Amino acid sequence: MTTPSKFESPTLRGLRVLITGGLGFIGSNLAHRCLELGAKVTIYDFLDPRSGGNMQNVVTIEDQVEIIANDLRNFEGVSAAIRHKDVVFNCAAYTSHPHSMTDPVTDIEVNCRGTIHVLDAARRFNREVKIVHVGTSTQIGRMIVPEVSETHPEFPLDIYSANKSASEKYTLIYGTAYKLHTTVVRLANNYGPRSNIRSADFGFVNYFIGLALQNRELTVFGNGAQLRNISFVEDSVEALIAAALHENSEREVFFAVADDQVSVAQIGEAIVTHVGGTLRFVDWPKDRHAIEVGDAVISNAKIKSTLGWKPLVSLADGLCATKEYYTPCLNKYL
């Protein structure tokens, strides 16, 4: 594999790439980009209705990729898919924070056992494969210092975040114990084309965008003053690819987040301005307030200095591009 600098365009030419959860939000955008960069792409996805997969996400590339319809909990299926691959992007997850609290066993099965299947399949059948695991900023829990970095202690507040923290640790343990090529990239509040915009369970930003596209009301809990890093999906995809290609990513964890933080209220206002809808502030529901992390101010210094990655898309530009994508095919996502 090559080691691109921040001044070079990456290439995946000739590489065989497996994307678990490749019909979902992050995975499908990654599939499009990997094809553009010359990779041979295989998507492994179960299209679980409780997750965000959608065949519309790959409608323009369906004849260019191999799609394996199987569950990450099926070790034989994962093992067969991982053989002879050069890179695995592990994007598959059971992603709902609220559902993880009411159905914790399913969350454990997918996010923990599923990740172990990917890692153990690599250990047994393909030790040279590079595994890039998608983590989440919510595994940190509440900030205890003014700015979160990769060394911040983790005290997650919901089962999903706890299991994502555990699956990250499995990835690093397998890398160290079995000398596998593993990397973790933690993402935060991604928005953009190909997301599930029907439910807040898949992230409030994309849900707000879905409401705005229908010219409906966006409701912000409390005063919306809590800060968030918000990232356009194309920037996050570039971070994952950088982690796959760069030799200095081995057995490391990176936050790939935007440079600046904005409040939830400001995010809502920007969506209304650039996409549509109206904004209203309401009291916190008790079940959501209990797992709210407050401010999330995260540093991206490590990934910038180590991999040469940086976010390029502004919030306004990202929202405009998102609206442009959904407008002609909105019915496929509602």
How high is the pLDDT of residue 97? Answer: 86
Q: How many CA within 13 A on the CB side of residue 119?
A: 26
Pull the structure tokens for residue 289: 């307030």
Q: Mention every residue, 6+ apart, whose C-beta is less than 8 A from residue 331.
A: none
How high is the pLDDT of residue 294? Answer: 78
Q: pLDDT band at residue 6, thresholds of 50, 70 and 90? A: very low
pLDDT surpassing 60 at residue 2: no
Q: Which domains does the chain have, with CATH numbers?
A: 16-332 (3.40.50.720)
How high is the pLDDT of residue 305? Answer: 97
Least trusted range by pLDDT, from 26-40, 157-171, 281-295: 281-295
How high is the pLDDT of residue 217? Answer: 96
Q: pLDDT band at residue 3, thresholds of 50, 70 and 90? A: very low
Q: Using only the alpha carbons of the chain, give its radius of gyration.
A: 19
| pLDDT per position as a tens digit, 167-226 | 999 999 999 999 999 999 999 999 999 999 998 888 899 999 999 999 999 999 989 999
Compute the mean pLDDT over every residue in the chain, rounded to the nearest whole number. 93
In angstroms, the CA 41 to CA 5 distance is 24
In DSSP terms, which residues pair with 182 in a beta bridge? 131
CB–CB of 268/205 below 8 Å?
A: no
Region of residue 15 (phi > 0: left; psi between -120 and 50: alpha; otherwise: beta): beta
In angstroms, the CA 220 to CA 224 distance is 6
How high is the pLDDT of residue 289? Answer: 62
pLDDT surpassing 50 at residue 19: yes
| pLDDT per position as a tens digit, 53-74 | 999 999 999 999 999 999 999 9
pLDDT surpassing 80 at residue 314: yes
CA angle 52, 123, 81 (to 5 degrees): 45
Which residue, 30, 137, 142, 156, is CA-closest to 88?
30
Residue 45 burial (CB < 10 Å; 0-12/13-18/19+)? Answer: buried
Kind and range of the H or E element at 159? helix 159-178
CB–CB of 131/183 below 8 Å?
A: yes
Q: pLDDT band at residue 283, thresholds of 50, 70 and 90? A: confident
Q: Mention every residue, 6+ apart, whose C-beta is less than 8 A from residue 51.
A: 21, 24, 92, 93, 94, 95
How high is the pLDDT of residue 291? Answer: 63
Q: Mention every residue, 6+ apart, whose C-beta is less than 8 A from residue 168.
A: 133, 135, 139, 184, 186, 253
In angstroms, the CA 286 to CA 257 distance is 29
| pLDDT per position as a tens digit, 75-119 | 999 999 999 999 999 999 988 888 899 999 999 999 999 999 999
| pLDDT per position as a tens digit, 166-181 | 999 999 999 999 999 9
In angstroms, the CA 225 to CA 269 distance is 12
CB–CB of 101/153 below 8 Å?
A: no
Pull the structure tokens for residue 169: 């640790």
In DSSP terms, which residues pair with 130 in a beta bridge? 87, 181
How high is the pLDDT of residue 1? Answer: 38
pLDDT surpassing 90 at residue 33: yes
pTM (whole model) above 0.75: yes
